[in-house]
Structure 1
Amino acid sequence: MELILKQDIKNLGEKDDVVNVRPGFGRNYLIPKGYATLATESAKKVLAENLKQAAFKQDKIKKDADAIAARLEGVKLSIGAKAGETGKIFGSVNTIQIADALKKEGFDVDRRRITFDVEPKFVGEYTANLNLHKEVKVKVPFEVVAE
């Protein structure tokens, strides 16, 4: 029995895969639970069109991410933080502050896409990793300065 999966199923396939399963498994489990639909000719055509449109959207998103990554080359941020005499920061520098500094520079990056190699705990230079797309990652240097 040929089915189109509506979601990822462990040991069977991923969403939008066309799989062959035993008739009982398809009829009694996958279709009633809403995990799959029958792979008729019309359903296969609809799936092909949906995959084509999704690929086009993903390609556009990747191109936008590449453009932002190219513009981010050479950008260095400066983040102000309260610090003691030894250079230790009171509190912490977080991804929200990095996102705000990038926004001031003209880049709109979601804070959830920003990570650190090393958490900034002292005044000095650090690197922020921006995951703009699953294939496009950029490292942006920033400096933590005492206010």
Structure 2
Amino acid sequence: MTEVVIAFKGGRAWRQHRQAAKRAPTRRYPARIARQLALAHALRRRLERGEFADFADMARQLGFTRARVTQLMDLVLLAPEVQEEILFLELPPGAQPVSERGLREAVLGTIDWQEQRRRWEGLRAQFAPVMLNER
């Protein structure tokens, strides 16, 4: 037999339901940029295994433009610490405070990892308030 609880607004069951809803953690998902970075690493591994002759062959086989493949592969040029932070970046549904394009423009403008880290810190500081409000 199944028990059904009807929670009348203002009653004990309603208060318990509201308290449980407040305690329930917000579901978080990997950020889009994290998924794109993971894809870039997966494609790089496939290239290293010889599944693709070069970026142009990869683009043809996957139905991407060569420019898109280059954009994705540029993500693996990020400083390792920046990549790690991005890969573990989780956000509530719908929240994407940093885009791949924004990351490329702000951080990938240099190949110096020290400078990339500094730029990433600045970019992260811009979207940190958004992250804190949604927790």
Greater RCO, 1 or 2 (C-alpha within 8 Å, sep 6+): 2
Question: TM-score, normalised to structure 1's length?
Answer: 0.29
Which of the two has greater strand per residue? 1
Which of the two has greater helix per residue? 2
